[in-house]
């Protein structure tokens, strides 16, 4: 509706301003013939001023309605795209860079907003002015003069279509260049500690300079095209005005039209210069908008995470887990991350999973929370296939503490309460105590109100892991998965945390994934992984007696701890 109101006021403005040249032309003729007195001249001048005020008001109104509506389009597209990002699977982010996604969420949305705002305004304005202006010239001045004055206009239209296609393709290249530039900038900022640690500032600057030069070159190619198009349109519009003066001047000399008619004619042709020039702007903005809309639609057309489409068969999880001959290959690779994994976990049981880096430990955690698609009949919770359980239930009843932590740029309190925003301060403190981070937090100047830096970089790795652990514990999940969650803390702190969690884990199913024996030795059942396969399993003592891979890991880590204790 706002668009309709805005279009009405644009049309109203154009019609009002078309009266002015005709009024001035009549005044010139009346002054020449001396049929206009001072009072009538004053009245007509006041009428022109009144029209100017009217045009000011109507221009203000169409800007409010149309520009305001384009901002609402911007809001809608931005919100829709953000919601889409949150619904896309992890594999989407594995193959798309953050910088490119940010470019689509900022630069491309701005181009779309311009298309639905400025482009519509200029297109309607140009169309109404052209049609109404030509009609008035034909009816009130002369048909032949109007036709001759409009000769360059079809040429302008043809050039607009020709250049528009070229502008579209070159703008697509520019947007891709901007995405690469944004991605490199974001990646450099995220890894600034690594860059400085390895003294690679010059290398990063050189890489950024090359990308910037490439981006500038692509923009220059676009500007060259646009720089050719715009002056060409302006020149052709000037030709139209010259024809009007030449042919119209001859008609005045022959008394075929009046001097006032010629002045009105040239004024109308001058008014039509803007619509002709705006064709280029409109084509440019629309082509850019369509190019950006195509990039946005590529995201919106991505397949979302498929959820249960029927009523859930269970309202919550109890904690029984069954993995049945599970094999898994990460999208885009050919190497099996897991191969023929079978495992039964009973409610309240603690399972330890250990193995070297790349053995598939974290993959099990990702599949249990369905971060990646799981084939039917491979993972069951309480005898329900994982694909029959809605994400809301799955993610509510399972808490995962990953090795790679992520904290938001907000307070420690809000980071711990991220999964349970309505948690009381007592609950937050209790979770922090279980994670052995409460005393550390209380040593901060602002305590729980301390704001951590971006990604929590103002905290140490061990502190970040413990805050993340507290976040998961606060959720009070039915199933707790610790995926190398204490790798950054020292062995003594790890022992204290695990001791704190003993009673906590008795009430729920726990899966402890670690590369340290100390973290899994008290588990009810231990699984040893290697190259995605289970090579050993049993209790701690049983595995030691086998003197296999687990035994070798145990002996090595025991020796390492002994050496460290002697050094201290």
Higher pLDDT pick, 305 / 386: 386
**pLDDT (0 to 100) of residue 48:** 77
Q: What CA–CA distance (Å, rounded) separates 9 from 60?
A: 9
Q: What CA–CA distance (Å, rounded) separates 536 from 566?
A: 32
For 321-567, CATH number?
Answer: 3.40.50.300
Q: What is the mean pLDDT of residues 273-282?
A: 71
pLDDT per position as a tens digit, 432-468? 888 888 888 888 888 888 888 666 666 777 788 888 8
Q: What CA–CA distance (Å, rounded) separates 410 from 443?
A: 18
> Which of 547, 74, 554, 178 is CA-nearest to residue 354?
554
pLDDT per position as a tens digit, 549-563? 888 888 887 776 677
Q: What is the DSSP string of 478-522?
A: SEEEEESTTTTS-HHHHHHHHHHHHHHHHTSEEEEEES-HHHHTT
Is residue 306 very low, low, confident or very high in pLDDT (cuts 50, 70, 90)? Answer: low
**pLDDT (0 to 100) of residue 249:** 80
Q: What is the mean pLDDT of residues 142-150?
A: 80
Residues 236/155, Cβ–Cβ less than 8 Å? yes
- CA 13 from chain center: how many Å? 38
Q: What CA–CA distance (Å, rounded) separates 489 from 467?
A: 12
User: For residue 361, which phi and psi values (nearest 5 degrees)?
Assistant: -60, -50
H helices of 306-460, in order, are 361-368, 391-397, 412-416, 425-434, 438-442
Q: What CA–CA distance (Å, rounded) separates 110 from 288?
A: 10
Q: What is the mean pLDDT of residues 503-530?
A: 82
Q: What is the mean pLDDT of residues 92-97?
A: 73
Q: What is the mean pLDDT of residues 516-533?
A: 83
Q: What CA–CA distance (Å, rounded) separates 7 from 116?
A: 12
Q: What CA–CA distance (Å, rounded) separates 338 from 328?
A: 5
* pTM (2 d.p.): 0.64
Q: What is the mean pLDDT of residues 185-205?
A: 72
Q: What is the DSSP string of 151-207?
A: THHHHHHHHHHHHHHHHHHHHHHHHHHHHHHHHHHHHHHHTHHHHHHTT-HHHHHHH
pLDDT per position as a tens digit, 21-38? 777 777 776 766 667 677
Cβ atoms within 10 A of the Cβ of 411, count? Answer: 16
Q: What CA–CA distance (Å, rounded) separates 271 from 133?
A: 8
User: For residue 354, which phi and psi values (nearest 5 degrees)?
Assistant: -135, 155
User: DSSP class of residue 444?
Assistant: S
Domain 73-300 has CATH 1.20.1560.10: yes
Q: What CA–CA distance (Å, rounded) separates 27 from 517?
A: 100
Residues 328/336, Cβ–Cβ less than 8 Å? yes
Q: Where are the domains of the chain?
A: 73-300, 321-567
Q: Is the model's pLDDT at 311 over the cut of 60? A: no
Q: What CA–CA distance (Å, rounded) separates 298 from 179?
A: 14
Taking each helix axis from N to C end, the angle separating 425-434 and 491-506, rounded to the nearest 10 degrees, works out to 120
């Amino acid at each position: 509706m706002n668009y309709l109101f805005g279009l009405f006021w644009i049309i109203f403005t154009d019609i009002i301003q078309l009266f002015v040249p005709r009024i001035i032309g009549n005044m010139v003729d009346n002054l020449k013939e001396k049929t206009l007195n001072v009072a009538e001249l004053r009245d007509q001048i006041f009428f022109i001023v009144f029209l100017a005020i009217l045009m000011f008001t109507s221009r203000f109104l169409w800007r409010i309605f149309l520009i305001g509506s384009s901002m609402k389009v911007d809001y809608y597209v931005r919100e829709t795209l953000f919601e889409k990002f949150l619904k896309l699977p992890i594999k989407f982010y594995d193959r798309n860079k953050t910088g490119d996604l940010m470019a689509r969420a900022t630069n491309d949305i701005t181009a779309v907003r311009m298309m639905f705002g400025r482009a519509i305004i200029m297109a309607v304005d140009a169309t109404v002015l052209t049609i109404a202006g030509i009609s008035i010239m034909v009816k009130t001045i002369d048909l032949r003069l109007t036709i001759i004055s409009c000769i360059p206009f079809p040429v302008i239209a043809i050039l607009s279509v020709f250049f528009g296609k070229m502008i579209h393709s070159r703008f697509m290249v520019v947007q891709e260049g901007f995405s690469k530039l944004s991605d490199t900038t974001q990646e450099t900022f995220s890894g600034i500690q690594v860059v400085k640690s390895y003294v690679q500032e010059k290398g990063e600057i050189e890489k950024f300079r090359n990308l910037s030069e490439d981006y500038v070159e692509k923009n220059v190619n676009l500007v060259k095209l646009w720089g050719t198009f715009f002056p060409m349109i302006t020149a052709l519009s000037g030709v139209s005005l010259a024809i009007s003066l030449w042919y119209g001047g001859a008609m005045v000399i022959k008394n075929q039209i009046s001097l006032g008619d010629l002045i009105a004619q040239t004024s109308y042709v001058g008014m039509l210069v803007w619509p002709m020039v705006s064709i280029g702007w409109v084509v440019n903005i629309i082509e850019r908008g369509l190019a950006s809309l195509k990039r946005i639609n590529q995201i919106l057309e991505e397949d979302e995470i498929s959820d249960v489409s029927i009523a859930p068969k269970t309202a919550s999880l109890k904690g029984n887990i069954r993995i049945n001959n599970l094999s898994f290959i990460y999208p885009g690779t050919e190497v099996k991350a897991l191969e023929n994994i079978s495992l039964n976990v009973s409610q309240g049981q603690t399972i330890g999973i250990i193995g070297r880096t790349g053995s598939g430990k974290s993959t099990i955690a990702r599949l249990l929370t369905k971060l990646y698609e799981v084939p039917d009949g491979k993972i069951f919770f309480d005898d329900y296939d994982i694909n029959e359980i809605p994400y809301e239930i799955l993610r509510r009843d399972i808490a995962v503490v990953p090795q790679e932590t992520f904290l938001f740029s907000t307070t420690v309190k809000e980071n711990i309460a991220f999964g349970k925003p309505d948690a009381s301060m007592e609950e937050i403190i209790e979770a922090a105590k279980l994670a052995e981070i409460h005393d550390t937090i209380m040593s901060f100047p602002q305590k729980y109100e301390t704001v951590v830096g971006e990604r929590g970089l103002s905290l140490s790795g061990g502190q970040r892991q413990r805050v993340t652990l507290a976040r998961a514990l606060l959720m009070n999940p039915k199933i707790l998965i610790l995926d190398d969650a204490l790798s950054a803390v020292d062995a003594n702190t790890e022992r204290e945390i695990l001791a704190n969690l003993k009673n906590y884990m008795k009430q729920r199913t726990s899966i402890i994934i670690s590369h340290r024996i100390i973290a899994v030795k008290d588990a009810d059942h231990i699984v040893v992984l290697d190259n995605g396969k289970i090579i050993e399993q049993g209790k701690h003592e049983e595995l030691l007696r086998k003197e296999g891979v687990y035994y070798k890991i145990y002996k090595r880590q025991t020796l390492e701890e002994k050496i460290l204790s002697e050094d201290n």
